[in-house]
Amino acid sequence: EAGVTQFPSHSVIEKGQTVTLRCDPISGHDNLYWYRRVMGKEIKFLLHFVKESKQDESGMPNNRFLAERTGGTYSTLKVQPAELEDSGVYFCASSLQGGYTEAFFGQGTRLTVV
Amino acid sequence: EDQVTQSPEALRLQEGESSSLNCSYTVSGLRGLFWYRQDPGKGPEFLFTLYSAGEEKEKERLKATLTKKESFLHITAPKPEDSATYLCAVGGSARQLTFGSGTQLTVLP
């Protein structure tokens, strides 16, 4: 069974540019989460989808971040325009059930804004 | 606000030298405490979920325990392949995971 897959694994962009990260969850997992770790900090929650609906987006830092989940399958996280402080590792996770069941993480996308 | 503090930040052990990692937490309505293992360049890998004080779970050389204020990850007779960063996270009433900063474990052969 394929795990959670994230694309790209690395991205280097200039300040002011746009970047789109993609996450393919495990097939059949309705719950999809985005987290990120900025340098020297803990992994922080960004948002949670149940199917195509945003269940909780309280962790999104500002309106430069836009997450979508088309048809309840893969998800994208767009940063526009990117700022230096957006650099970090962005993780996606999925779970079969919501709440506090086991969540499977992808390998992450390392974003560097220069 | 939910908080998780892990100690020590780093731990070096000789192969076979047992030890424990600590995770202290404050949470509004604990729904679950999670332990993950993370290898360099990879995402967190799920190890255990504990739901109530007194609960214990084991997997190979790892044993996780939970009290009302903290959790311990006991590592018995570790091997070099156990080297990784171990992350603790709590799920509270906010229905999202709050992570600690992790303990970087190195097991020397």
Answer left, alpha or beta for residue A32, where phi above 0 means left and psi between -120 and 50 means alpha.
beta
CB B90 within 8 A of CB B2: yes
pLDDT-derived band at B22 (thresholds 50, 70, 90) equals very high
- Given an 8 Å threshold on Cβ–Cβ distance, is B95 in contact with A98? yes
Q: What is the mean pLDDT of residues B10-14?
A: 98
CB A13 within 8 A of CB A83: no
> Who contacts B84 (Cβ-Cβ below 8 Å, separation ≥6)?
B37, B38, B39, B104, B105
Assess B92–A contact: CB distance below 8 Å, yes or no.
no
For residue B43, the chain A residues in CB contact (below 8 A) are 4, 91, 93, 105-108
CB B25 within 8 A of CB B71: yes
Assess B34–A contact: CB distance below 8 Å, yes or no.
yes
Q: What's at A46, amino acid-wise?
A: L
Tokens 């079969």 belong to residue:
A96
Helices (H) and strands (E) in chain B, counts: 0, 11
pLDDT, tens digit (0-9, with 9 covering 90-100), for A72-111: 899 999 999 999 999 999 999 999 877 666 789 999 999 9
For residue B102, the chain A residues in CB contact (below 8 A) are 42
Q: What's at A32, amino acid-wise?
A: L
pLDDT, tens digit (0-9, with 9 covering 90-100), for A46-75: 999 999 999 999 999 999 999 999 888 999
